[in-house]
Every structure is written in structure tokens, then in C-alpha cells.
Amino acid sequence: MEDDATQKAIKLGSAERDVIALGIAVAAIILFVGTGGSVMPKIMRAWMGTGQAPDTMLTNAVLLNIALLIFGWRRYSDLRREVHERRRAEATARQLAETDALTGCLNRRSGVPAIDQLLHRARITERETAVFMIDLDNFKQINDLNGHQMGDHVLATIATRLRETLPAGSVLARIGGDEFICAFIHQPKGPDEVERIATSAIGAVSSTIEEDRALVEPTCSLGIASTEQDKDENRPLDAEALIHRADIAMYHAKKTGRNRHFWFEPQLEDELRLRNELESAIRRGIPAGEFVPFYEQQIDLATGELVGFEMLARWKSPRYGLVSPEVFIPIAEEIDLISDLSECLIRQALRDAGDWDASLTLSVNISPVQLRDPWFAQKLLHLLVESGFPAARLEIEITESCLHENIGAVRTIVSSLKNQGIRISLDDFGTGYSSLSQLRSLPFDRLKIDRSFVSDLAREGSTTELIEAIISLGKSLSLPVTAEGIENPDVLETLRAMGHLKGQGYLYGQPEDACATRKRLAELQLLRSLARGEILAKQAITDTDGAELPQRKAG
């Protein structure tokens, strides 16, 4: 506020000086016209020696007029130069305010009015306007792996490619770190034209970018909204409404995979509203303790003995009830809360498992997002130290997709965890593209066959070759194998015939919370606290009677 007042005072003072200078110049011109006609000839004749000199005061007045005229001219020249420089500075400031410095595109401030103008031109010519919302996938990872300089180069290159791809007269604006909006006029009933441009835009964005020997293959998600979808509404859409619709469509495209585009549909707005509500509920639920671990039994298929549990995340929401991880895990990953959520769940699981029998292991799934954190291993070790849980009884499960994002970082983290005694399993094996060299170079302790392959065994006419191949591969690499998704006795018998495996699935019961799991272990006499209590009771009986009573065998 003080700066604004100072600027206003400076401008007011400058204006006052300009008015005074203008008044002086006008007065000098009037005075010169009034006196110059009679005095100047006399001065010239006196200077040439042919006449008498004019009155001294008149001469001084004329000379003063001339000086004032010169002053006025100089001030006029200064004013012209000042106005020119001011206009140039204003144009530069306007350009900086309306243009993204990195890409040369418009920004949100200028892009929205530009799209409104485009909409106006389209209505006059009875044509339609389409808006694209383009969001780069995992752009943060590009920055993290290659540096911000490479990230800036990627953005600038993509902006150039989009300019070359879009029709003439289009609007292109960068409205966020990795978000672009594009708008262009198209013919009525021309979805094929819009589809073609969308496909070309995705192709332009996803082409390989090279800089200083580094290669980046960006991908994007693209949402489409058009005024042609608005014919039944009473008032036409403006730029903000179209951008909002394209943004909703883009989010849906991102859920379906990379390098996809999707048209806006009215029901998507309801889905986005629910998604935003879930996001807010997740943010509140983590510190409120609404997320709890459930435990799925892991069984030695040969003996039928319980050998451990896999920890599964569940959300006990006051509003939505018991929510599946398929719903909230992707949202937590997108809003960068997966690390906080996982840390909360692992802390609870380690505390629960602290009372289990020493023969039981605890398996925990790790998100690919967490493996991008260079401090993940240290955070996990801190939780182990905090709980006192033995590292040798903890098994970390990572999916095959983790191996393709940054194999170097994954190798570093896995090696660090292995050095502390933690076991590492490759989860959902067979669904990705792991190479034999990756399996040999990374110190895995176990392979887990994806449940989709196991459930196929229940279908009539199914074959066992794929599972047998995975088991054979595990044997050749000295890696034990776990089969997931066992749901009926026939599948169990088929797997038993293939070799010594661990297994898990609903055949052995649904995943249970900590209380139900503890009750199960108490019945099996697999609780350390229960065992300690029995020892104390046994000692008390021996001390009292001098004889030891027979004890119940573990069942």
C-alpha cells in the first residue's frame, strides 16, 4: 500500500511539472508573437548598422521568449521520449505478465481471456471451439532423475511441438508446472477432426527428447471439451467452464493409462466430486487413525502350517465404512500421502506382530512411489528400531513395475534393506517385464505368483505350464515361491503337486483385523505373551506343589 501511494505521488508530481512547463511554453509563444514582429526587425537593422537599436527591455523580453521556447522544445522532446519509453516498458511488463517466461506460451491470466475471444469469433462464424487440457505424467520424476534443467528443456520442447501441431490461430497456454491448455476453432459436427488433433498432440508430446546425452520419453493425459456438447444448455459455456470440463476429462484419461485422451461426459463431474471428497477424507483420516492393518494368512502348502501374514491396508471411514485399498491407495499416491499412510500402517503392524510367535513372518507391500524416496530405507529401519521387531522376520514386497522406473535407485534401496536382514519379495510376478538379468542382479528372497495366474487354474481347460515355468525359474535362481489367490481346494491340490510352495488366499479365510488375528493366534498358541504367561503359571504350580503338571500340546 505504501509503495502504491509513493508511485501515485511521483506520478502526480511529474504531471504538475508537465502542466507548468506547458503553461510556460504557451505563454512564451504568445509573448513572442506579440513582441517579436516589431522588435526582431529593429534588432537585425541595429546589428547590420542601418538602424537604431530597440528598447533594452523589449530586447531582453524577446531573448527571454527565445530561451523559454528552447526550454519548451527540449521539454517537449523529453516528454516524447519519456512517453515512448513508458509505452515500451508497459508493453514489456504486459508481455511478462501475460507470457510464460520458460515456454513463451500464454499463462492462465492471459490464456483465459484469449479463449473467450476465440469463443466469440467461433460464435460469429457459427463454428465450435474445442479445449484440450494436457498434463504430463510423472513430470516430478523427470525432474528428480534428470534435474530441473532437463525438466525445463522438456517443457520448452513440448510447447514448441504443440505450437507446430495445433491449427493456425489456436490458443496455447501453460497454466501450471506441467499443464497446458489448448483451444482452437473447429467445424460443427467435427469430432473426427478434434480426435485427429488430439492424437497428433499426444504424439508430439510423447516423442523422445534428448539433452546432454540424457533421453526422456514423456507421456501425457489429455482431456477434451467442446462447445458442441453444450447445445441443450440455456447459456453458452465460457472459457473457465470449458477448461474445467477438459480438466475433469483429463483426470479420467489419466486413470485409464498413459498417452490417452478422453472426452468430457456429465457423469464425470460427479465422479470428480466424490474423488475430491475422498481426498479430503484421506487427509483427515491418516492422523485420526482411521487406516488400519488387516492380516492375510500365509500357509506352508505341504504341511498346512501357518508361517506368517501379509499386511493389507484397510480404511475404516466413519462416512464410507470399510474401504478397499483399490479405492484409496491410488488417491494417496497421487496426492503424495502414500508415504505417511504406509508409515502409519507399518508402525501399527510391527506393534501388532511384536507378540506373535518368533516363527511367524510379516509381509508388507511397498508402493512404487515410496521407492523413489532416497530415505525410504532409513525410515523403515527407524520403525524397526522403534518397535524392536526383528528385521529377519520382516518381508518387503515390491511389484515388477518398480523395476522399470529407476532400477539404480531400487537396487540401492533393496541392497540397503538386505544388509539389515530384511527379506525382499518380487510381488505379482509374471504381470510385468522383469528380465532374467534383473532377477539375478537384485537380491530377491522370494517370488510371488500373481493371483490372476492362480485363479485361472480353477477354469475348465486351463493349463499349468506358466505357473510351472515360474516355479522352475524360482528353483534355478534359488528363490522360494508363494502362490497368491488360492480360493478352492482343487487349486490347492494342483499347487501342492507342483512342489514346496507357500500360499495365501480366501480358502484360508478373509483378511482379519488385529483383534481377530490375535484371537486366532491365541487358539493356535502362537502368541509370545500367552507363552510367557503359561511359563509363569507353570513355575508357580511347580513351586507350590513341587510337581509339574502336564501341559497342552500346541494344536
Pure H helices in 257-401? 266-288, 325-334, 338-353, 376-387
What pLDDT is attached to residue 53? Answer: 58
| Helices and strands, counts by H and E, the chain | 18, 16
Give how far Cα 174 sits from Cα of 105, 156, 183, Å. 6, 10, 12
What pLDDT is attached to residue 270? Answer: 87
Query: What residues in the chain have per-residue pLDDT under 70?
Result: 1-65, 69, 72, 75-76, 91-97, 230-235, 404-406, 431-437, 529-555
Q: Which residues neighbour 454 within 8 Å (Cβ) at sequence distance 6 or greater?
A: 467, 483, 484, 485, 486, 491, 495, 505
What pLDDT is attached to residue 543? Answer: 47
Q: Which residue has the cell 521387531?
A: 389
Q: Looking at residue 447, what DSSP letter applies?
A: E
What pLDDT is attached to residue 98? Answer: 72
> How far apart are alpha carbons 110 and 463 in whole angstroms?
61
Q: Which residue has the cell 527591455?
A: 57
What pLDDT is attached to residue 554? Answer: 35
Q: In terms of C-beta density within 10 A (0-12 exposed, 13-18 middle, 19 or more buried), how is residue 505 classed?
A: buried
What pLDDT is attached to residue 541? Answer: 46
**249 three-state secondary structure:** helix
| Neighbour count for residue 194 (Cβ, 10 Å) | 20
Q: For residues 155 and 172, is the Cβ–Cβ distance under 8 A?
A: no
What pLDDT is attached to residue 535? Answer: 45
| Neighbour count for residue 137 (Cβ, 10 Å) | 18
What pLDDT is attached to residue 548? Answer: 41
> How far apart are alpha carbons 502 and 495 in whole angstroms?
10
Q: For residues 185 and 166, is the Cβ–Cβ distance under 8 A?
A: no
Count, residues in the chain: 555
Q: Helices 266-288 and 338-353, interaxial angle, to 10°?
A: 40
Q: Positive or negative CA dihedral for 238, 240, 244, 246? A: positive
Phi, psi of 292 (to 5 degrees): -135, 155
What pLDDT is attached to residue 213? Answer: 75
Tens-digit pLDDT profile for residues 423-481: 999 988 876 656 666 777 788 999 999 888 998 888 877 788 889 999 999 998 899 99
Closest to 427 in 3D by CA, of 442, 447, 444, 413: 447
DSSP annotation string for 8-47? HHHHHHHHHHHHHHHHHHHHHHHHHHHHHHHHHHHHHHHH
* Residues forming beta bridges with residue 185, ordered by sequence position: 129
Single-letter code of the amino acid located at 58: L
Q: Helices 2-48 and 56-98, interaxial angle, to 10°?
A: 150
Q: For residues 363 and 298, is the Cβ–Cβ distance under 8 A?
A: yes
Q: For residues 471 and 497, is the Cβ–Cβ distance under 8 A?
A: no
* Residues forming beta bridges with residue 131, ordered by sequence position: 183, 225
With residue 77 as reference, give the H or E element that holds it.
helix 56-98
